[in-house]
Amino acid sequence: MTTESTVEAAVGREAEGLCFSVFGRACPSRHVLKDITHAWGSLTLAALRDGSFRFNELRRRVDGVSEKMLSQTLQALERDGLVHREAQLTNPPRVDYRLTELGHEVAERLYELISLVEARMPEIEVAQRGYDRTHS
Amino acid sequence: MTTESTVEAAVGREAEGLCFSVFGRACPSRHVLKDITHAWGSLTLAALRDGSFRFNELRRRVDGVSEKMLSQTLQALERDGLVHREAQLTNPPRVDYRLTELGHEVAERLYELISLVEARMPEIEVAQRGYDRTHS
DNA sequence: CTGCATCCGAAAAGATACTG
DNA sequence: CAGTATCTTTTCGGATGCAG
């Protein structure tokens, strides 16, 4: 699983029309990957791992996201079937967002990635300082 | 592992100065996550899972990336210590890129995410069509 | 409270031409 | 071959105003 070839096999299978490959320029899966890996997309999905949240709760959790970007991000993720939006037409209105089953699977993998990055940050900062030193 | 809280614990620990949290607006780990999850960043890392490649080989593998974006992406990934660049000052010049050990760990997790997205694309496309139909 | 619509400057991406 | 420089186009993202 971890040693199989990434690109050739995928592109080959995609060319045969048997599957999707993000490496293909026009493959729809690339748009979805972009929705997810877009900075706000990944943070929003990761934030939703903990449960169901209202709009402004999410906004506080994803520190620094603007209203507009969170709104756009949630729409893209909802469209891809990763996030479920539940609106109650009360006054004041209440809208809850939570992950779908698929969204949960994606968020888990994203979280593994985020955890790794966070855990290795000291090492990464050393690399950055070394790079900045030698590349003036 | 899959059930622990994502945001509160992380932000709490970050506030104590004990770790990094991508959910923090000013945390350096967020920049690294952005380098990786940037569309070209993730595709480049995934493409490098297969081994060592030259600049134009990579460009062909990551279908659609421009010279400029690949160059910028590789520089960011090299700075973060995820990609190793080996230049031979021959004529014509030859430059090889490969993952570092840390880059490999990141690429594996990224690949899990990409595989999931590709495998679930049919389901995602159904969701998209449903969304587009109801949100005209 | 939960958003969407609009405008605007800043930033990033893309295309193209050029250099060592 | 491996990029850099430059220019144009697109997108990002914040601010504001408004509706349900």
pLDDT at position A72? 93
Work out the average pLDDT over A21-34.
90
- Using the Cβ of B73 and the Cβ atoms of chain A, whether some distance falls under 8 Å is answered with no
- Cβ proximity of A65 and A59 under 8 Å: yes
| Local confidence band at A11 (pLDDT 50, 70, 90 cut-offs) | low
Whether the per-residue pLDDT at B26 is higher than 90: the answer is: no
Give how far Cα A120 sits from Cα of B3, B35, B105, B121, Å.
21, 14, 10, 31
Quick one: average pLDDT of A21-27? 90
Residue A115: per-residue pLDDT: 94
User: Residue A91 to residues A57, A58, A84, A88, A96: CA-CA distances in angstroms?
Assistant: 18, 20, 21, 9, 15
Domains, chain B, ranges and CATH? 27-134 (1.10.10.10)
The Cα–Cα gap between B59 and B66 comes to 8
CA distance B63 to chain A (A): 5
H-assigned helices in A1-136 = 7-15, 28-37, 39-47, 55-61, 67-79, 101-119, 121-134
Strand C nucleotides, any atom under 7 Å from protein beta carbons: they are 1-6, 13-17, 20
* pLDDT per residue as tens digits for the range A40-65: 999 999 999 999 999 999 998 998 89
First to last CA, chain B: 40
- Residues A108, A111, A115, CA angle at the centre, nearest 5°? 145
> What pLDDT is attached to residue B73?
95
Average pLDDT of A98-102? Answer: 96
pLDDT class of A1 with cuts at 50, 70, 90: very low
Which residue, chain included where needed, has tokens 């910028």? B72
C-alpha A76/C-alpha A36 separation (Å) is: 9
> Cβ B2–A108 below 8 Å, yes or no?
yes
Q: How far apart are CA B35 and CA B132, in angstroms?
A: 31
pLDDT in tens, B50-109: 999 999 999 999 999 999 999 999 999 999 999 999 999 888 899 999 999 999 999 999
| pLDDT number for residue B84 | 97
The arithmetic mean of pLDDT across residues B120-129, rounded, is 94
Q: Residue B111's closest CA among A1, A34, A40?
A: A1
Mutate which: A35, A52, A63, vs B, most B CBs within 10 A: A63
Diameter over CA atoms, chain B: 59
Residues of B in contact with A70 (CB under 8 A): none
User: What pTM does this model have?
Assistant: 0.90
For the segment A65-80, what is each residue's pLDDT rounded down to a tens digit? Answer: 989 999 999 999 999 9
